[in-house]
Amino acid sequence: MQIDVWSDIACPWCYIGKRRLEGALDRFEHKESVRVRWRAYELDPRAPREREGDHVDHLAKKYGASRAQAEQMVARVAGIAQADGLVYDAARLRTGNTFDAHRLIALGLDRGIQGAVQDRFFRAYFAEGAAIGRPDVLAPLAAEAGLDRAEVDDVLASDRYAADVRADEMEARAYGISGVPFYVIAGRLGVSGAQPVETLLGALDRGWSTGGLTGVEIAD
């Protein structure tokens, strides 16, 4: 059974959602028969390689909120991430364009280590203050995850995997995906958001057993 997950490195809920999916898979009876594929989704495709300024101020402007309200948003997400065993250090975030990160995640799929590349990028961005939009930052992180550094440099210096990223985004539009994470289980069952482990486990069971579904049904 395949699970396709649309996500973005710059999305804290995707970071949390990956951990929760792993928790659900650890409890899923058919885990060994599951393949997870990470699909590209850019929350801000027009973002510069590295955005100047404070992340909290940027959030306040984006949502039309006060700085105090933005700080509350960040603190809430950080608390949820911590409860899931993750570090979300908003004070260190260096936001930017994630297109190149998605290209390297696509390379990771071809090399059989996509999940490790995704993990390394998430951790670097949310816990270590890495400027995830900069190729000089991405390259050593990708190598740490197990990709060949020479091939990583070649990808970053070219347009390799650009079409793969665009194809993922086009498919997301076809599904009507407007937010991430978004899971499509067995090509049939859609689950939106960083749902609790129990909810994801139930969706896995349902996706495994309901082979007669056509199209994508959104799980309750």
pLDDT at 211: 57
For residue 11, being part of any structural domain is answered with yes
For residue 85, being part of any structural domain is answered with no
Average pLDDT by stretches of 10, the chain with 220 residues: 97 98 97 97 95 86 89 94 96 95 98 98 97 97 98 98 98 94 94 97 93 46
Structural domain boundaries enclosing 11: 2-51+94-218
Which structure tokens are listed for 210? 């309901």
For residue 12, being part of any structural domain is answered with yes
Contact present, 125 and 117 (Cβ < 8 Å): no
**Residue 101 belongs to domain with CATH number:** 3.40.30.10
For residue 177, being part of any structural domain is answered with yes
pLDDT at 212: 38
Q: What is the CA radius of gyration of the chain?
A: 17
Domain total for the chain? 1
Report the distance separating Cα 129 and Cα 220, nearest Å. 36
SS3 182: strand
User: The whole model's pTM is what?
Assistant: 0.92
